[in-house]
Structure 1
Amino acid sequence: MKRIVSVFAVLMMVAGLAMATPSMYGSTGLVRTIAPDNCGPMSFGIGFRGFLSMGDYDTNFSWMNIDMVPMGNLAFNDMLELSIAPTYTFNQWSMTTPDTSAWRSGSKDTRIGLKATFLRGEGFNMGAYLGYDYRWNKKFSGYYAWVDEAWEKDSNYTPTGAIHFTLIPGYNAGNFKAHLNLGMAMNLDKYDFGDGVNRIYPNIGIPFGLGLSYNAGMVTPFLEVTGKAGIDTSKYLQVTDTGFDSISRGIMNNPFWVTGGLRFDFGSIKMDLGGEMNMQTDDSTILNPTMTRQLDWQVFMGLAYTKCNLGPKVPATAIISGKVTDKAGKGLAAMVMAGGITANTDPATGAYTLSGVLIDKAPVEIKADAKGYIAKQASIMLSKKNKKVPAMQDFTLELKPIPPSEITGNIIDYKTGKPVPTTLAFKDAKGKVQTVTTNEKGAYTIKLEPGKYDVVATAEGYKTSNFVVNAADGKPVSKNAGLVKIKEKFTFNNINFATGKAVITPEIETALQPLLKVLLDNPDLKVEIGGHTDAIGSMTANRRLSQARADAVVAWLITQNVKCQMTSKGYGEDKPIASNKTKAGRAENRRIEIDVVE
Structure 2
Amino acid sequence: MKHVIDIPEDVKTTSGKTAPQPYRPVADVTPELAQIVVYYPEGSVPATIYVDRELQSVLLPGQFTVLCAAPGAHAVESWFNDHPAYQGKQNPLQQLNAESAQTYFIQVNPGTSGNTAALEERSRAEALLSKMHKQTKIINRASQVKTCDYVNNSGVVLIQEQVLFRFAASNAAGIFAESRNKLDEVVKFTKKANNVSEIQIVGYTDAIGSREANQRLSEARADTVRSLLIEKGIKPELINNTTGKGIAQSAEGCGTSASQQAAGCNVNSRRVEILVKSH
Per the TM superposition, whether the score is higher than 0.5 is: no
Larger radius of gyration: 1
| TM score, norm. by length of structure 1 | 0.20
Would you tell me which structure has more strand in proportion to its own residues?
1
Q: What is the TM-score when the length of structure 2 is the normalising length?
A: 0.39
